Amino acid sequence: MKVLITGATGFIGSRLALRCLANGDEVVALGQVNNPVEAERRRLIDGAGANVVVASVTDAQAVRDAVRGAQVVYHLAAAQHEANAPDERFRDVNVNGTRTVVEAGAAEGVKRFVHGSSIGVYGATDALTNEHSPLAPDNIYGITKLEGEGVVLSFQDRLPVVIVRISETYGPGDGRLLKLFRGIDRGAFFLIGSGTNLHHLIYIDDLLDGLLLAATKPAAVGRTLVLAGKDSVTTRQMIDTIAAELGRAPSRLHVPLWPVRAVAAVTEGVLRPLGVHPPLHRRRLDFFRKSFRFSGQEAREVLGFEPRVDFARGVAETAAFYRTRGELSSTPSKHPAQAPRHSSQPRAAANGDLKAIADMPLTARIEPFDSFWEGPANVEKGYYTFGLFYRHNYLRFLPPDRGARILAISCGPGYLVDLLTKEGFTNVLGIDSFPEKVEHARRRNLNCIAAEAFPFLYGAPDTFDAIVCEQELNHLTKDEMLKFLQLCRYSVRKNGTLIVHGLNGANPITGAEALAQNFDHYNTFTEYTLRQVLDHAGFTDIRVFPLNLYVFYRNPLNYLLILLNALYVAFFRFSFMLYGKSNRLFTKKIAAVCTNAPTD
């Protein structure tokens, strides 16, 4: 079969050309050569056997000649990254160029026209998105890509067309994310903003599978479909996954987004009229700002499309590619990327000691550990306030795989379960020993049940990828705490995640009061002792972090409180140093994330 690929010297186009050639297709590859990367891709696909045509999609004669005889056209050419280009450039390529290609396809009678559009047509949205979600492009690229879709659809009575909205794509051959990999590899990357915005990336091999299905499935004709990857991840999770694969410690340095956006706007305003490419522009900051997560249902139903590569595996493959080209250090990974999630298998029989632990009565009677005691009087309001709290403090530490099995202990009304469900997690369970608290969650159709923590952990039929304890460990005695952590090691899969928190005894203002304020508080922690008990229990990769209470950025008062908190911390650190102490965390509560290390 003869196929035409426009944009063939781009990342996706060049990889599609290689795939089609490997499948035995005759490939005409139309693209431009404006830089060394595109020149290298041209040599690559030319050497593999493609008929390379160096031309723009705005050249009507070159396009007509390239289309002639093709059964399938993959139109991937686009003006995308030209930050210093005038708006006319985007419209010329993304709208007029698209019209040129689709007119040629109709005139030559191609059998299928696959148009590569973009998720940029949605603008910015935090909601779960599908093909029928509102379209609100917020920059010239997204605006012109949406106009290009309209051009293609206007030909659907003359041409079998399919529109594919392509999500953020990465993998071997990608030059865009190379900058991120290099920055993390060299320790020069820092986070802009909170890092909680979502990316629904798709690995290049999965995308190519989807494009080929769009070109062959009869049901796809006339449809607009989104192709996105296996899981969505936050920016922080992206950074942590890449850092782990590269064997680098992820940077904890970050700066607020708004001043950087202001600088970018000024830079664009000054340099763009002069024809100078601004080193910083607002579209580049979309990486730290926009969130996308897609249902993928229509691509499954229409194409039978199922992405296979999760982000951790894709990062490992991409890093290996960069290393072979000498674009990253050759240091082997100290923290291999997480293997694909295990299949569900019954756990080995537990020993008698764990059975005895599961059946032991706990000391706390007034406010037991396995129920949630921190909720506000207005339960409904808590879904918003605690959602912000958990998003800011915990979300970045959870597995990037939205299908991961996550257990929330002491879930109460299901505040954490509610947040994770909204974030796209599909396999979250909450347990709480008070049925009346769980009833609030059940009214919201949240997956929460009434159960006591110790016997539940012992009797669960399978392990979890992550366990989060919503109640402080301080409600357990020291002996009970060690036994609880033993049950957690039994119930979290090997290399799985545990998140716990407790009252911070190092805070000179609230530390002593926190221990005395509740009859069922039996201890407090410092950064050292929280790390100490987790290490003693057999967990590794322990990271202790402050729990930030001032996460309501719409309330101006919180900015004053953040400033006062920073002054307090500076004063406390200096005071502790006078006594030879190295305490660094002084928030009211501290938390820890750790890994269940294999025993063999």
pLDDT in tens, 323-381: 878 888 755 444 333 333 333 333 444 455 777 887 788 898 788 888 887 777 788 88
CATH of 369-596, one of 3.40.50.1780, 1.20.140.10, 3.40.50.150, 3.30.200.20: 3.40.50.150
Give the residue-averaged pLDDT of 119-129.
87
Give the span between the Cα atoms of 74 and 212, in whole angstroms.
Answer: 9
Confidence at residue 110, expressed as pLDDT on a 0 to 100 scale: 97
Q: 432: which strand partners? A: 450
CA 559: distance to chain centroid?
27
The single-letter DSSP state of residue 525 is B
Let me know: does 57 contact 97? Beta carbons within 8 Å: yes
- pLDDT-derived band of residue 129, with 50, 70 and 90 as boundaries? very high
- pLDDT-derived band of residue 436, with 50, 70 and 90 as boundaries? confident
The ranges of the chain annotated as CATH 3.40.50.720 are: 2-324
Q: 467: which strand partners? A: 407, 498
Confidence at residue 45, expressed as pLDDT on a 0 to 100 scale: 93
pLDDT at 298 over 50: yes
Burial 566-589 (b: 16+ CB within 10 A, else e): eeebeebeeebeeeeeebebbbeb
The single-letter DSSP state of residue 340 is P
Q: 430: which strand partners? A: 408, 448
Max mean pLDDT range (315-324, 347-356, 419-428, 559-568)? 419-428
Burial group, residue 53, by CB count within 10 angstroms (0-12, 13-18, 19+): middle
Three-state SS for 93-133 is: HHHHHHHHHHHHHHHHCCCEEEEEEEHHHHCCCCCCECCCC
Q: Coil, strand, or helix at residue 586?
A: coil
Q: Coil, strand, or helix at residue 598?
A: coil
Strand residue runs (E) in 375-491? 406-409, 428-432, 448-450, 464-469
pLDDT at 383 over 50: yes
- pLDDT-derived band of residue 87, with 50, 70 and 90 as boundaries? confident
Question: Over pLDDT 70: what percentage of the chain?
Answer: 87
Residues 6+ apart with CB under 8 A from 7: 13, 30, 31, 57, 75, 76, 77, 78, 116
pLDDT at 258 over 80: no
Let me know: does 511 contact 504? Beta carbons within 8 Å: yes
pLDDT at 252 over 90: no
Confidence at residue 585, expressed as pLDDT on a 0 to 100 scale: 79
pLDDT at 300 over 90: yes
DSSP per-residue codes, 456-484: HHHH-SS-EEEEEE-S-GGGS-HHHHHHH
Question: Over pLDDT 90: what percentage of the chain?
Answer: 48
Confidence at residue 202, expressed as pLDDT on a 0 to 100 scale: 96
Confidence at residue 456, expressed as pLDDT on a 0 to 100 scale: 87
pLDDT at 97 over 60: yes
Give the residue-averaged pLDDT of 29-49.
92
Alpha carbon of 583 to those of 511, 529, 569: distances in Å? 13, 11, 10
Ordered alpha helix ranges (H), 109-249: 140-153, 178-185, 204-216, 235-246
Confidence at residue 574, expressed as pLDDT on a 0 to 100 scale: 75
Q: In angstroms, what is the C-alpha Rg of the chain?
A: 27
CATH of region 2-324: 3.40.50.720
* DSSP percent split of the chain into helix, strand, coil, nearest 5: 45, 15, 40
The single-letter DSSP state of residue 524 is -
Confidence at residue 278, expressed as pLDDT on a 0 to 100 scale: 60
- Tell me how crowded residue 263 is: count the other CB atoms within 10 A of its CB: 13
Query: Tens digit of pLDDT for each residue in 217-247?
Result: 999 999 999 999 988 888 888 988 999 888 8
Let me know: does 374 contact 469? Beta carbons within 8 Å: no
Is the torsion defined by CA of 194, 196, 202, 203 positive or negative?
A: positive
Max mean pLDDT range (149-153, 445-449, 546-550)? 149-153
φ, ψ of residue 155 in degrees (nearest 5): -105, 5
Alpha carbon of 104 to those of 2, 4, 58, 78, 97: distances in Å? 15, 11, 12, 17, 11
Tokens of 245: 């694969």
The ranges of the chain annotated as CATH 3.40.50.150 are: 369-596
- CA torsion 539-545-546-549 (nearest 10°) is -90
Confidence at residue 554, expressed as pLDDT on a 0 to 100 scale: 56
Let me know: does 148 contact 113? Beta carbons within 8 Å: no
- pLDDT-derived band of residue 285, with 50, 70 and 90 as boundaries? low
Give the residue-averaged pLDDT of 409-431.
93
Confidence at residue 334, expressed as pLDDT on a 0 to 100 scale: 40
Give the residue-averaged pLDDT of 476-486.
93
Give the span between the Cα atoms of 318 and 328, in whole angstroms.
Answer: 11
Confidence at residue 329, expressed as pLDDT on a 0 to 100 scale: 75
Q: Helix count (H) and strand count (E) of the chain? A: 22, 20
Does residue 265 or residue 51 have the better pLDDT?
51
- pLDDT-derived band of residue 507, with 50, 70 and 90 as boundaries? confident
Give the residue-averaged pLDDT of 285-292.
76
φ, ψ of residue 288 in degrees (nearest 5): -95, -5
Let me know: does 205 contact 264? Beta carbons within 8 Å: no
Give the span between the Cα atoms of 104 and 117, in whole angstroms.
Answer: 18
Helix (H) or strand (E) holding 30: strand 26-31
Mean of pLDDT over the chain:
86
Taking the alpha carbons at both ends of the chain, their separation in whole angstroms is 53
Tokens of 67: 């289309």
Confidence at residue 150, expressed as pLDDT on a 0 to 100 scale: 97
Alpha carbon of 577 to those of 114, 507, 574: distances in Å? 65, 14, 5
Does residue 113 or residue 312 have the better pLDDT?
113
Q: 234: which strand partners? A: 198
Residues 6+ apart with CB under 8 A from 158: 106
Ordered alpha helix ranges (H), 217-256: 235-246
